[in-house]
A and B are shown apart, each in its own frame.
Chain A
Amino acid sequence: MRDGIYEFIEDYLSDMFASVTGDIFNSTLTESAIGLSETSDRRFVIILGLAGQYKGRIILETSSNTSDTLLQRMNFGEPVSTLQEQNLFLGELGNMVGGKFITALNNSFRGLELRLTPPIVFSGENLSVITPEIESIVRHFSTDCGVVRIDIGIEGVKPWLNLENF
């Protein structure tokens, strides 16, 4: 089952995120070879924990500019101005992405029984997030609003064991 989980994530990740961005932001999606630019500018990071048969986390990361555009679309065209509101909206975005992802994973792997923790949203400059002892699948997606980085890691599951293109 372990190998299968990462294969599933690899296959499903793009479709899952495309579905969320299509539904909410009316935005098309392409996988991007170019990641987020390495700057010290303010970034937003959404962390969702996973716990059940396995443990892990989903991290979504985006720049402040991309976040502003995403949130304006979420808010029916109105800008989301305060940091507190921005964090609340991004938390909802995290819930949508995490909910879709975990439902698909639980439906495909019976007995996995993964549950999501509430989303935690960080914003700051020179942000760095590490989860020790977890190997991740990292993908960058380019949307009309900008680039979003998704990082998914599950404890004890090694992506390089089963990914031909890793």
Chain B
Amino acid sequence: MVEFGEFLSVALKDTLSMFGLSVERNSTIVSETLSSSGDVNVVIGFTGDVRGSIVIALPKETASAISAIMIGSEEINLMAKSAFAELSNMIAGSAISKSPRFMNLTPPSVVTGENIFLMISRVKSTNMEFNLNGSPLTIAFALE
């Protein structure tokens, strides 16, 4: 669990650095169930040697900052959502390529809305908080 978190953390830093973005890890919280909330959430599942899910949760200001760099607009439109999905795919793909376990990723789904509450799993999960140029970004994952 801890090891996979490290893979995700490195993958996030490597992938965002391609876009000139730097990210710092703030805290890691292990909780009994995986829950998260952000205005923009990208969900990627995986099967294989282990089953689980990764959620990359962004508040609006972080999503707008990434969107401005990736597609040149701060508006969270369809193109921005597609860009978030691709970015998340790159991060998850990079993380599982570092893992010694075989994992098969599902296509990313982007969920947006207001007052979002999400729950993935009853199993213990890890929430990693990052600081992206002053804006928060969370990666939550659970392995079953």
Contacts and interface: CB of A to CB of B under 8 A. Distances in A.
Partners in one complex: yes
Chain B interface main SS type: strand
Interface in B74-100: 78, 81-82, 85-86
Q: Main secondary structure on chain A at its contact with chain B?
A: strand
Say which size band chain A's interface belongs to. 35 or more
Nearest to B108: A131
Contacts of B47: 49, 51-52, 115-117
A17 B109 CA distance: 23
A51 B96 CA distance: 14
A126 B144 contact: no
Interface residues of B, number: 39
A41 to B, nearest CB: 11
A165 interface: no
A128 B118 contact: no
Interface stretch (B7-15, B22-30, B50-58, B65-73): B50-58
B65 to A, nearest CB: 20
Given A84-B33, A127-B111, A122 B116 contact: yes
B107 A122 contact: no
Which 6 pairs between the two chains have the least Cβ-Cβ distance? Answer: A117-B45, A49-B106, A49-B45, A124-B116, A124-B113, A115-B47
